[in-house]
Each structure stands twice: as C-alpha cells, then as structure tokens.
A and B are shown apart, each in its own frame.
Chain A
C-alpha cells in the first residue's frame, strides 16, 4: 500500500471530453429521424446514412442552432466561421469510410464555466466544442462468427466538448460532468439522458510530482457522474502505484468495468490512426452573422452558476439550491427555475417562491401520486395569488403551505383562490374588533398566564397567542393577536 503522504506528493490532472447528443428531430446531414431509441435496427437509414454512391451530406440547420446555444451555455459565443472536415478510418459501422467532424475550426472555442464542488466554486476552461456525426452501432453476438451493424445511430448529431486539463480531484471531475449535464439540459441542447448514452464522457487522467504533466490514459465511454469520479480515483491510484513501483505509465485507451469498479486496458496509442483530416468539399463552411448570434443569445435562459448566486442571495443554502437545480432537469413536465425567472423583478416574491418550490412543491412531487395536470401558467397564478393573500395578512405561512398543497393535490386551479381558501378555512381574521373580543375572553380564561405577562414574563405571551389562535380556530392573524394582547395587558 502507498501511504497517504506519498499520494499527496502527486498532483492529479484531469481533462474530460464529453459527447453530447443534440436533440434535433433529424440527423446531422440527412432528413431521417434522430430518435433511434425504440426503432428496429437499420430502419432509420437513408442513402446518406448508408453511404451510397453519389450521396451528399446536407447540414441540419437545427443542429447549428443548438450548437450556438451550447456556446452560450459554455460561457462563450459561437464562432462566426467554422467548417467541416473528414476523419478517415475503416470500420463496418462507419459507412463512408470517414466521419464528418470539425477539425481545426470548430463552432465553439475558449469557453469558461463555473462549477460547484460541494459548495466551493471552481472555474474550468472549455478548450473547444465541435459538431460531428455519430457512427453506427456494431454488435458482436457471443459465440457467433459474425458481427451485426445497426446504422440507425449513424449520422446522429453530436457536440464534443473538450475541457482544459484544469480539473484536479475526483470530486471536481464529477462536479464538472454534472455541470455540463445541467447546462446542456437548461440550454435545451440535449435530452442528456445518460441511460440512452446521450452524454458520454472520456476521462483523461495523469499524475505527476512536478509541474510537468505525466503520461495520461483515456478512459472512454463513461456514462454516469459517479463513474467519472470513480474512474479518476481508480486511475490516479493505479498510476501512482505503478510509478512508485518504478514502472512507467503507458499512454493508452482504457475502459471502465462498473461491476468490478476498475479500469482496464483497451488499446495503446501506438496503434493510433493517421486520420488524414481535410476539409469536406461537399459542405460549405458555416458562417454566422452577428445579428443571428445576438438573436440566439437573447433566447438563452439563466445558467446554473448564475442561479447559484441568485438563489444564495435569496437565502437558499447549498443543498436547497442543488435540490432546485436538479429538480429542474429531472422533472419532465414542470419547470421550476423559469417560474422564478418570471418573477425576478419582485425580489421578495421570487425569494418566497424559491422557498415554496424547494420546501413544498418539489417534496410534494417526489412523494405524491397526484396527476400533473396544472399548467405552468396556472402554477404561476396559484403562487402569485397565495403570495398576495399572505402579504395582505390573510394567510399564515402554515395555511399558505396547506393551501398550496391542497391545490396541487386536487390538480385543478380554483377559479377564485381566495374564495377557495376561505371555504377551506385558511383565511385569517384581521378584524381588530373581532380579535379584541377573543383576546379579552382568553385573558379572562387564562388569568395566571395573563398575570405572568403583566409581571414581565414575556415568554407567557406566546402561550396566550396560541390560545387566541385556538379560540379563533386558526383564523386570527397571530401578529395582530399579540399586539392586542399586549395592549389589553398594558405591557
């Protein structure tokens, strides 16, 4: 075993390449459905996907639009000029004998994102991100002397996002992967469904005792945040152990065995291809003008790092913030952050709303079987009405919560929320005369407590307020009740 002291002498350096499947309706270069999840093999294939003689690629404008959004989501702007290149190698699932990708002039360069590592902020540079087509899928049935190829996936648009080697711990690697996931979801660039391989991570790890980088290994096709973290942990330990034994690290591609929780060697870089990149003559360069770029920028929603700052300023702690940020992308039907975004002008309401979402609606959604039949606009109306009633002193915070839960449970927005609340008995009484009568009666009925207050034992006033609430069946405004108690007791 290597001691922690020895381990600490090494600095781990991590760079992550992430393939994101873009949520376009059709493929990157052909008008064929991009949704291969349930399709029978080789049914989503045109002459272009099949690489027939004479077939020419035609760029999907929607993919460019999503890449432009991704650029803003990665903290930069799309490049005004980018182009497509051919990358050559032979494989049965690569129909043309080359993959169309972007080599030296990608659509995204020099991004920068802030990630959250257990409450600590860290900035990670994005070297580049480029558009490319996916290959088909090869299957090798066990015990058979043949392989099968499914070209449904061939031509699916991918965005490959390459980070700077600025990540240094397993936790940072995991946080980076999660951050990319959130951003691609918020920007609506990808379904980012990890189960379906919509996001795949290639994790490059090296260790070194000096400032010079060590030899790196690349663990490919990792499809969970947890596995990204584990790969880094395993690889860093493995490499340190190798170096401590006096061995060298071989630059190679490795895979991740999730069952055994370890990486394994796949192939060494010595066998690396010469891909013979050159500009694809079938595709004119992508030229974006400033007006177009500005339009896309104006459509962009707020990204996670800005939300973190905003939610913190609204008094949410890190865990609450993460609850909200995660719920936003896990929830298929409802959105949370846009609801807050729609009311940012009213700071107090936005803050109340954030708290209600985190403390009331999100837990309710997680635990409840209630149908999700309220529209976003109805939810906005509900929260606004409840906030107004609370502000006007007509709802206690407890009753506000109860009212929200009732409406969510029934999944129908009442036509008149105040009427609904009144019928449910949630509206509190703020009529001074009426409460004054109850207060007088409570003082009579609780003479000892009343005396305690008169004698300066202010703790007892809480008890009396409780009695007023009880006597009013919860409808009295507790603030008003306290005020009137003090007045009548002369303190």
Chain B
C-alpha cells in the first residue's frame, strides 16, 4: 500500500470529515518538492489549490454536501488550460501564458471537488514519446533515472508512480497516455474518441486527441473517467456517455479475447514478449477464450498516423503567431518577419518538423497522394477493427515493443522514436478505447499490456481490465 488510498475512499473520508482536503493538498505538494529531481512537474498551483481545499473543508464542517472527488489532489498535463498557473504545453512559444478559461475536463473534476495541484511535464505540444522534446526539462523514469518515462504524458505518469497525487490527467493522440503508463508501470486509460471533451485542451491532432487518466489502479481510472465523460456543448465531437464507468467485476471466464497477430513476434523485445505471453497464459487459466486475430492493415497504421497527425498539427499550431498571446518576436521589420521569427524561435525542433511534414502533405498537388490516401487506409482499418470485434470482445497485445529506453538513446533518430508508437496509434486512428495495465517486469523495467475494445464500450473494457489486473497480481 502506497501513501494514497483508492480515490473513492479518500473522497469518502473527506466527505465525512475524517480527512482534511487541505492536508491532502499539503501532502501532495510535499511529495512534489521532495521528488523534484525527477522533473515530473513544470509548476505547482499552490495558492489556488489550498484555497479550494479550505473551501471544501469549510463546507464539510458546515455539513454541506461535497462532490464525489472531494479533496482529491490531481496533476494535469501542462496542455490542459487550468487557472492559477501558466499553461505552456512545455513550449517556449507559450511561456507566460495564463489561461482565461478552463478545460471542460478540469471544470467537471473541480465541480466534484477534485483539486489540481500541479502541471506535469510533457513533450512540447505532446509531440514525442519520451518527454525529451519538452522545451524545459526531461522527466526521469521512477524505476531508473537514466531512462525516459515515455511520452508524451511522461510527467503525468511519473508523477503518479512517484505518488505525487492519486491521479494525473494525460492526453493520448497516438499513445501518449498508454506508452508512459507502460514505461512507468502505471495504468493509462485512453477513452473512446469524443467521450471526454477536448475543449480547453491544447490541440495536437484533433481527430485522434483524447483525454484520459493515469492512475495506479483500473478502479481509480474508472472513478476519474466517470466524472469527466459525456457530451459537452463546447466540443461538437463529444458523444453520449454510458450510464456508469465504475467497473463491475464480472466473471471474465468465457470472454473472448483476440491476440493481435501483427502485435506479437517480430520487433518485440523478448522480455516484453515473455511478459505478455505469461499474461495470456494466466487469462487462459481463468477461462478466458483466447484466439489469434489478424488485422492485415495494421502495419500501415504508423505511416497513416504520421501523415494525418502532422497535417492536423501543422494546422492547429497556426494560431501561435505572436500576434495575440504567447511569445512574440518584437524586433521584426515587417509582418512577414514577425510571423516567421516568432515561430522559428518559439517552436522547438519537433514542432517544426511536424509543421513541415504536415504542410507538405496538405500542399496542393500532394493532398491526394498523402492525406487523402491516408484517410482511405484509415477507413479500411476501421472496418478491420469492426470485423475483429464481431468475433472477439477485446483485442490484446503489448502496449510498446520495448521497455523504457535510455534518455538520449533515440533523440537523434526521429524515425526510431516514432516507432515507439507502433502498437498504440491504431486505437487512435479508429477511435477505440484502450488501456495499458502493468503485467510485470523485464530486467527490472515495467511492461504494459494493452487491451482494446470496440468504440463506445468503455465500461466493459474497464470491467475486463479490472479483472485482468486482479489475475496478474
């Protein structure tokens, strides 16, 4: 047992007055300070968090009703717009930017009494798999400080594993929640596309961006999702929610899972392969019906992703032009120079790489050859997933082909860095819910197991993941 009890229990104790919200906030802030060398957090939100905690404690003292996450501290990835601190997306171009409105996800959590105490590090604008693309710092893996925590939500994952807070929020565009969960031994949940509002979250690739929790247990992930999920009039791509996401521990015997053929074998580190196969054996032993499933277009998913994602990135980053907020080059002789210098200086290398890639694939004459074709393959992938889910309940595979790599190991080889996402991007392209849960260690480093469900079947996935988590322990 770590320093934090399950989230639902913490909230219950705050509601009953047994625990003080202010003490929880101070405990969180204390651990953040104590473990600052891991560089998981960019900034803390001390004043606002304490004020909110005091308000909750006063409400409890007066016998007033407080929310279902009352007093629970959490950390938001620094691409969520949150009051009380800067929102930077770990990019120099947004340094000093203070949000005049909050993300819907934050508003919903706050409405239930959760308290945001810090902003976590990330690869700038969520572009990366290691947090090394942060313009400010690289986060260290709690299991081995010479290694990366994965990315882009690496700060959030490390913070949770370092017990800085009971949960953290991440965003997952191509695997940015699940990969760091896998590398740090935490639970990372990527909901169905549109289940959680993207309003107030700095966009990376709008058609695949989702918001989800990083926690130490599936139960906690479900509790957080249950508060955030649902339609939002500020995000037209949001969908209707299911009644509840609190996982019902169903009998998993008889459930059908498909081991994705394309995710096993070649390119997978033997230690990772071994852990995943052990997990499959354990599931089989509990009566789960395990079969092999093939999704033939899956090997194209990464290529498709690295066309669609930069295309949307190049467009979404257009607004950072130095004219209204954020960094602005002030010595420009003319408008053209103001735009180009602001962006050349303000953006880091990876953002610029993606802007160039995206601009190229959308340019006149290349659109059909790249973007349109990628969308065609994406549609094909969606159909292949649909077909797979007509015969199995869940798909299974490793979350990543390797365990956490060394800091600096892939930084000069963007292609190798991109390959880290090979197991995760498909779920984003088809909008399916997916989860990474820890299943063991390989050479002392955590290995994550990925479970994917059909679009809109988040509650079922959480239930099965919780049962699987039980089987693994």
- B311 beta carbon closer than 8 Å to chain A: yes
Question: Are A54 and B200 in contact, CB atoms less than 8 angstroms apart?
Answer: yes
Interface size on A, residues (CB 8 A): 28
- B198 beta carbon closer than 8 Å to chain A: yes
Question: Are B81 and A97 in contact, CB atoms less than 8 angstroms apart?
Answer: no
User: Nearest chain B CB to A90's CB is how many angstroms away?
Assistant: 5
Residues of A within 8 A of B89 (CB): 53
- With A51-B324, A54-B103, A54-B199 given, is the CB distance from A284 to B237 under 8 Å? yes
Q: Which residue of B lies closest to A46 (CB)?
A: B101
- With A47-B101, A58-B234 given, is the CB distance from A53 to B202 under 8 Å? yes
Question: Are B236 and A92 in contact, CB atoms less than 8 angstroms apart?
Answer: no
- In the docked arrangement, what's the CA distance between A57 and B81, Å? 17
Question: Are A276 and B359 in contact, CB atoms less than 8 angstroms apart?
Answer: yes
Question: Are A281 and B206 in contact, CB atoms less than 8 angstroms apart?
Answer: yes
- In the docked arrangement, what's the CA distance between A53 and B200, Å? 7
Residues of A within 8 A of B207 (CB): 281
- In the docked arrangement, what's the CA distance between A86 and B101, Å? 24
Contact partner of B199 (CB less than 8 A), chosen from A56, A59, A149, A283, is A56
Question: Are B323 and A53 in contact, CB atoms less than 8 angstroms apart?
Answer: no
- In the docked arrangement, what's the CA distance between A58 and B236, Å? 6
- B321 beta carbon closer than 8 Å to chain A: yes
Give 1 or 0 for each of A149-176: 1 = CB within 8 Å of chain B CB. Answer: 1000000000000000000000000000
- In the docked arrangement, what's the CA distance between A96 and B315, Å? 9
- A52 beta carbon closer than 8 Å to chain B: yes
- B318 beta carbon closer than 8 Å to chain A: yes
Q: Which residue of A lies closest to B317 (CB)?
A: A97
- With A90-B318, A278-B362 given, is the CB distance from A56 to B312 under 8 Å? no
Question: Are B101 and A52 in contact, CB atoms less than 8 angstroms apart?
Answer: yes
Residues of B within 8 A of A47 (CB): 100-101
Question: Are B364 and A276 in contact, CB atoms less than 8 angstroms apart?
Answer: yes
Residues of B within 8 A of A98 (CB): 315, 318
Contact partner of A96 (CB less than 8 A), chosen from B99, B198, B319, is B319
User: Nearest chain B CB to A348's CB is how many angstroms away?
Assistant: 54
Instruction: Give the interface residue-count category, chain B.
Output: 35 or more
- B335 beta carbon closer than 8 Å to chain A: yes
Question: Are B318 and A96 in contact, CB atoms less than 8 angstroms apart?
Answer: yes
Give 1 or 0 for each of A23-65: 1 = CB within 8 Å of chain B CB. Answer: 0000000000000000000000001001111111111000000
User: Nearest chain B CB to A375's CB is how many angstroms away?
Assistant: 38
Question: Are B311 and A95 in contact, CB atoms less than 8 angstroms apart?
Answer: no
- In the docked arrangement, what's the CA distance between A54 and B312, Å? 14
- With A274-B363, A276-B364, A281-B207 given, is the CB distance from A51 to B319 under 8 Å? yes
Chain A CB within 10 A, most for which of B87, B318, B324: B318
Question: Are B362 and A97 in contact, CB atoms less than 8 angstroms apart?
Answer: no
Question: Are B236 and A56 in contact, CB atoms less than 8 angstroms apart?
Answer: yes
Chain A CB within 10 A, most for which of B89, B99, B199: B199
- B329 beta carbon closer than 8 Å to chain A: no
- In the docked arrangement, what's the CA distance between A56 and B203, Å? 9
- A401 beta carbon closer than 8 Å to chain B: no
- In the docked arrangement, what's the CA distance between A86 and B206, Å? 13
- A282 beta carbon closer than 8 Å to chain B: yes
- A178 beta carbon closer than 8 Å to chain B: no
- B371 beta carbon closer than 8 Å to chain A: yes
Contact partner of A97 (CB less than 8 A), chosen from B99, B103, B321, is B321
- A137 beta carbon closer than 8 Å to chain B: no
Residues of B within 8 A of A97 (CB): 315, 317-319, 321
Q: Which residue of B lies closest to A278 (CB)?
A: B362
Q: Which residue of B lies closest to A47 (CB)?
A: B101
User: Nearest chain B CB to A60's CB is how many angstroms away?
Assistant: 11
- In the docked arrangement, what's the CA distance between A86 and B311, Å? 11
- A486 beta carbon closer than 8 Å to chain B: no
Chain B CB within 10 A, most for which of A54, A58, A98: A54
Contact partner of A53 (CB less than 8 A), chosen from B81, B206, B237, B359, is B81
Chain B, 317-356, CB within 8 A of any chain A CB: 317-319, 321, 323-325, 335, 339
- In the docked arrangement, what's the CA distance between A84 and B200, Å? 21
- B367 beta carbon closer than 8 Å to chain A: yes
Residues of B within 8 A of A281 (CB): 205-207, 237, 312
Residues of A within 8 A of B443 (CB): none
Contact partner of A54 (CB less than 8 A), chosen from B201, B205, B324, is B201
- B235 beta carbon closer than 8 Å to chain A: yes
Give 1 or 0 for each of B189-203: 1 = CB within 8 Å of chain A CB. Answer: 000000000111111
Residues of A within 8 A of B201 (CB): 54
- B94 beta carbon closer than 8 Å to chain A: yes
Chain A, 85-126, CB within 8 A of any chain B CB: 86, 88, 90, 92, 95-98
Question: Are B325 and A56 in contact, CB atoms less than 8 angstroms apart?
Answer: no
Residues of B within 8 A of A86 (CB): 315
Q: Which residue of A lies closest to B343 (CB)?
A: A90
Give 1 or 0 for each of B59-83: 1 = CB within 8 Å of chain A CB. Answer: 0000000000000000000001100
- In the docked arrangement, what's the CA distance between A96 and B318, Å? 6
Residues of B within 8 A of A52 (CB): 81, 99-101, 325
Chain B CB within 10 A, most for which of A52, A95, A283: A52
- In the docked arrangement, what's the CA distance between A282 and B199, Å? 10
- B266 beta carbon closer than 8 Å to chain A: no
Question: Are B236 and A282 in contact, CB atoms less than 8 angstroms apart?
Answer: yes
Chain B CB within 10 A, most for which of A55, A59, A283: A55
Give 1 or 0 for each of B170-201: 1 = CB within 8 Å of chain A CB. Answer: 00000000000000000000000000001111
- B412 beta carbon closer than 8 Å to chain A: no
- In the docked arrangement, what's the CA distance between A149 and B338, Å? 15
- In the docked arrangement, what's the CA distance between A283 and B364, Å? 22
Question: Are B362 and A56 in contact, CB atoms less than 8 angstroms apart?
Answer: no
Question: Are B315 and A278 in contact, CB atoms less than 8 angstroms apart?
Answer: yes
Question: Are B236 and A53 in contact, CB atoms less than 8 angstroms apart?
Answer: no
- In the docked arrangement, what's the CA distance between A278 and B99, Å? 28
- In the docked arrangement, what's the CA distance between A465 and B46, Å? 102
- In the docked arrangement, what's the CA distance between A90 and B323, Å? 10
Residues of B within 8 A of A92 (CB): 321, 323, 335
Q: Which residue of B lies closest to A273 (CB)?
A: B364
Residues of A within 8 A of B87 (CB): 53
User: Nearest chain B CB to A289's CB is how many angstroms away?
Assistant: 18
- In the docked arrangement, what's the CA distance between A53 and B237, Å? 17
Q: Which residue of A lies closest to B359 (CB)?
A: A276
- B233 beta carbon closer than 8 Å to chain A: yes
Question: Are B101 and A56 in contact, CB atoms less than 8 angstroms apart?
Answer: no
- B136 beta carbon closer than 8 Å to chain A: no
- In the docked arrangement, what's the CA distance between A51 and B202, Å? 11
Residues of A within 8 A of B101 (CB): 47, 52
Question: Are A88 and B315 in contact, CB atoms less than 8 angstroms apart?
Answer: yes
- In the docked arrangement, what's the CA distance between A55 and B81, Å? 10
Question: Are B81 and A54 in contact, CB atoms less than 8 angstroms apart?
Answer: yes
Chain B, 300-325, CB within 8 A of any chain A CB: 311-312, 314-315, 317-319, 321, 323-325
- In the docked arrangement, what's the CA distance between A89 and B350, Å? 22
- In the docked arrangement, what's the CA distance between A58 and B199, Å? 11
Question: Are A50 and B206 in contact, CB atoms less than 8 angstroms apart?
Answer: no
- In the docked arrangement, what's the CA distance between A278 and B202, Å? 20
Residues of B within 8 A of A284 (CB): 236-237
User: Nearest chain A CB to B374's CB is how many angstroms away?
Assistant: 11
- In the docked arrangement, what's the CA distance between A278 and B310, Å? 13
Residues of A within 8 A of B200 (CB): 54-55
Q: Which residue of A lies closest to B125 (CB)?
A: A53
Question: Are B339 and A90 in contact, CB atoms less than 8 angstroms apart?
Answer: yes
Q: Which residue of A lies closest to B205 (CB)?
A: A281
Residues of A within 8 A of B198 (CB): 54, 56
Contact partner of A88 (CB less than 8 A), chosen from B81, B99, B318, is B318
Contact partner of B203 (CB less than 8 A), chosen from A50, A54, A276, is A54
Give 1 or 0 for each of A431-471: 1 = CB within 8 Å of chain B CB. Answer: 00000000000000000000000000000000000000000
Q: Which residue of A lies closest to B202 (CB)?
A: A53
- With A97-B321, A98-B315, A276-B359 given, is the CB distance from A53 to B235 under 8 Å? no
Give me 5 A-to-B residue pairs in the complex whose CB atoms sit less than 8 angstroms apart, sorted by A's number.
A54-B81, A56-B234, A58-B233, A274-B363, A276-B363
Interface residues of A (CB under 8 A from B): 47, 50-59, 86, 88, 90, 92, 95-98, 149, 274, 276-278, 281-284
Q: Which 5 A-B pairs have the closest CB atoms?
A: A97-B318, A281-B207, A281-B206, A276-B362, A54-B200
